[in-house]
Amino acid sequence: MHGHTDSRATLPEAALRDLGSQAFQGLGLTPADADEVVNLLVTADLFGLSTHGMSRIESYGERLEVAGIAARPAIKIERVASALVKVDGGNGVGPLVGMKGLKAAMEVAGECGIGMALVRGSNHFGPISPYCHIAAEAGFASMIGSNATTTIAPWGGSDARLGNSPLGFGVPGHDGAHFMLDMAMSVVARAKIRNALKAGAPIPDTWATDKQGRKTTDPAAALDGFLLPIGGHKGYGLALVVDLFAGLLSDAAYLTHVKSWVDAPDEPQNLGHFFILIDTRRLGSAKWLADRMKDFAAILHGCPAAEEGKPVIVPGEIELSNMARQREQGLTIDASVLSLLKHHAAKLAA
């Protein structure tokens, strides 16, 4: 993980976009492709998801430099039925391939009411909520998932055989207040366990197992073991579902066939994604939907809080509020990320 002890730099969104585009061009991408990747990652930073934003220049850059990711991929799009599209990302940068998948699914969904893109030959594609946001802005509800390197043991097992696969959903809200849920299947991220280890504190036994697959409160044993999925067998099942739709049905790698970008940065991962888009305009008027979404949020906000001063929130609100604030005040990123962007951008000028 990247630089949480770093100093931080603040710059306007447009400046970060420009620099980011030059950096990815410096790494060999075309200007249009670089802009596409940067749009996704900057949106992640705007949402406050800095671990999945421009900081990814580190791992993406490393793999682009050793040709573990193709800078100029031959992306193939095949419409196998009127509402169903298969995409082969040609081992391109994840957010570039992901955006091709999203756009292809939106296009057929616009025609058919619902549309799906199944993507293979891809890499880490960023967080999911920026895709849901782009879809929601265009009037589409979305269900999006990706598989991932194996870090989780099957329920009752003691070997990492499935990924902590992210799954996301979006529904267009009233006045831009889109519902967005973006979640992985583990109870917590590994970073939380690392923090406990640093603090010398035990962890709840619901977070992870040791390497024998036994529950543990020892953060060191947990880091040597496996993350536990939410709801035990339920989260295990959901992680399998994401891998089935994103990996198995898309003809990508799945389960232990997914290569680790840490252990083998120079090899294609063949990650898979799925994008299901629903054109909400076919279901009712914009006012009909906005009224219902407003009422939906009001019912949740109107719920008395269990703890004073901690009101109920609707998924997506934190991200949208972070975006509004950072658009006004500038984007804060790690100084080391800024240096790395400048380093790669300098190659373009050279």
Single out the residue of 2, 174, 190, 292 in contact with a copy of itself (rule: CB under 8 A). 292
Distance CA 122, CA 270 (A): 5
Examine residue 231 and tell whether it contacts a copy of itself (CB under 8 A). Answer: yes
Q: Is 143 within 8 Å of 112 (Cβ atoms)?
A: no
Stretch that binds a copy of itself, among 62-70, 90-98, 254-262, 323-331 (CB under 8 A): 254-262
HSE on the CB side for 298, CA within 13 Å?
7
Q: Locate tokens 């447009």: which residue?
A: 14
Cβ pair 73, 95 in contact under 8 A: no
309 dihedral zone (left: phi>0; alpha: psi -120 to 50; beta):
left
Number of residues that bind a copy of itself (CB under 8 A): 76
Q: State the residue for tokens 């054109």.
A: 279
Residue 304 in contact with a copy of itself, rule: CB under 8 A? yes
Least CB distance to a copy of itself at residue 204 (A): 9
Examine residue 293 and tell whether it contacts a copy of itself (CB under 8 A).
yes
Q: How far apart are CA 195 and CA 321, in angstroms?
A: 26
DSSP state of 229: B
Distance CA 257, CA 50 (A): 28
Using the minimum distance from each CB to a copy of itself, give the nearer residue, 233 or 342: 233
In angstroms, what is the C-alpha Rg of the chain?
A: 20
Of 262 and 306, the one with the shorter C-beta distance to a copy of itself is 306
For position 207 contacting a copy of itself by CB under 8 A, the verdict is no
Q: CB of 326: closest distance to a copy of itself in angstroms?
A: 22
Residue the block writes with tokens 């279901």 = 283
C-alpha–C-alpha distance, residues 44 and 57, integer Å: 13
Give the binding range for a copy of itself (CB under 8 A) out of 25-33, 60-68, 121-129, 278-286.
Answer: 278-286
Of positions 15, 191, 286, 313, contacts a copy of itself by CB under 8 A: 313
- The interface with a copy of itself within residues 121-140 (CB under 8 A) comprises none
Residue 12 binds a copy of itself (CB under 8 A):
no
Q: How far apart are CA 301 and CA 163, in angstroms?
A: 34
* Pick 292 or 347: Cβ nearer a copy of itself: 292
Which residue's CB is nearer to a copy of itself, number 80 or number 199? 80
Give, as ranges, the residues between 173 and 202 that touch a copy of itself (CB under 8 A): 179, 181, 183, 187
255 makes contact with a copy of itself (CB under 8 A):
yes
Other residues' Cβ atoms within 10 Å of the Cβ of residue 322: 17
Quickly list H helices, 27-128.
31-46, 57-65, 94-112
Please report, as residue ranges, which positions from 140 to 159 form the binding site for a copy of itself (by CB under 8 A): 141, 143, 153-159
Q: Using CB under 8 A, which of 13, 35, 251, 267 touches a copy of itself?
A: 251
Binding mask 51-90 for a copy of itself (x = CB under 8 A): -----------------------------xxxxx-x----
